[in-house]
Amino acid sequence: MTNTQGSAGPTVWLAGATGLVGREIDRLWPATGLLVRLTRRPLPARAGRIDALVPDFLAAAAFAALPQAEAAFCALGTTRAAAGSDAAFRAVDLDAVIAFGRAAKAAGVRRFALVSALGADAASANLYLRTKGEAEAALATLGFETLVIARPSLLLGERSGLGQPPRAGEALAQRLARPLAVLIPARWRPVAAADVAAALLQALAAPAPGIRVLDSAALQPGRASPR
């Protein structure tokens, strides 16, 4: 497929380009094709990328002007504390994710990758895990040829530029995670956001049909394999 800027390769959408994993997908993008970064604010210009300003993912016309695409990455997400309420949290982590998935399907996307969370379960009593599980279940009904779901444990990475309120417990966990990593079972081991991004890029570059779930064990460097 040839992108609208004339360089060979697929056109790919990225939602959540300013988040922890999304910015790593952007950084690692091989520039063989066009990466359309859906964002609420302009991002620094980089080769092989264009920005599409989407102020409201839930607006009916939000995706109308976007080019057709072959693949999409969804790295949208917030926290209950940052959102301010259960409803505001679910508007991002569920409603916006589903809206993006539907728009991607309508634009011809065949391969879709989602950043979810370890323990995601639509039947969970935990709001965060239930919401993530509901988003996964909704995307699974849209009929993508390939759906890759990353379920990382604690994400490691620099959060200072994300515009989120500080989370003291998470900062402490990140400091302890690396020296104690060998003692933590692989499934629960924290994983760097850059490794999640690399695993998703690899998975969509060599797609297999159906739904693939990558947990933290599979997301560690060199271990991206389906569960």
The pTM of the full predicted model, rounded to 2 decimals, is 0.86
Q: Which domains does the chain have, with CATH numbers?
A: 11-219 (3.40.50.720)
The span from the CA of 116 to the CA of 24, in Å, is 16
Per residue in 107-117, pLDDT tens? 999 999 999 99
The pLDDT score that the predictor gives to residue 206 is 85
Beta bridge partners of 213: 149
With cut-offs at 50, 70 and 90, classify the pLDDT of residue 2.
very low
User: What b/e readout covers 84-111, taking b as 16+ CB neighbours within 10 angstroms?
Assistant: eeeeebbbbbbbbbbbbbebbbebebbb
Whether residue 73 has pLDDT greater than 50: yes
The span from the CA of 8 to the CA of 96, in Å, is 30
Whether residue 24 has pLDDT greater than 80: yes
With cut-offs at 50, 70 and 90, classify the pLDDT of residue 175.
low
CB-CB neighbours of 52 under 10 Å: 16
Tell me the average pLDDT across 151-164: 76
Tell me the average pLDDT across 102-111: 96
Pure H helices in the chain: 20-28, 80-83, 86-90, 97-106, 127-140, 168-180, 193-205, 216-219
The pLDDT score that the predictor gives to residue 119 is 96
User: Could you tell me which residues come within 8 angstroms of residue 184 by beta carbon, excluding any fewer than 6 positions away?
Assistant: 177, 190
Per residue in 186-210, pLDDT tens? 677 889 999 999 999 999 998 889 9
Whether residue 61 has pLDDT greater than 70: yes
Tokens representing residue 126 in the block: 């935990």
The pLDDT score that the predictor gives to residue 164 is 52
Per residue in 126-147, pLDDT tens? 999 999 999 999 999 999 999 9
Whether residue 103 has pLDDT greater than 90: yes
The one-character DSSP state at 77 is -
Could you tell me which of 133, 114, 115 has the C-alpha nearest to residue 124? Answer: 133
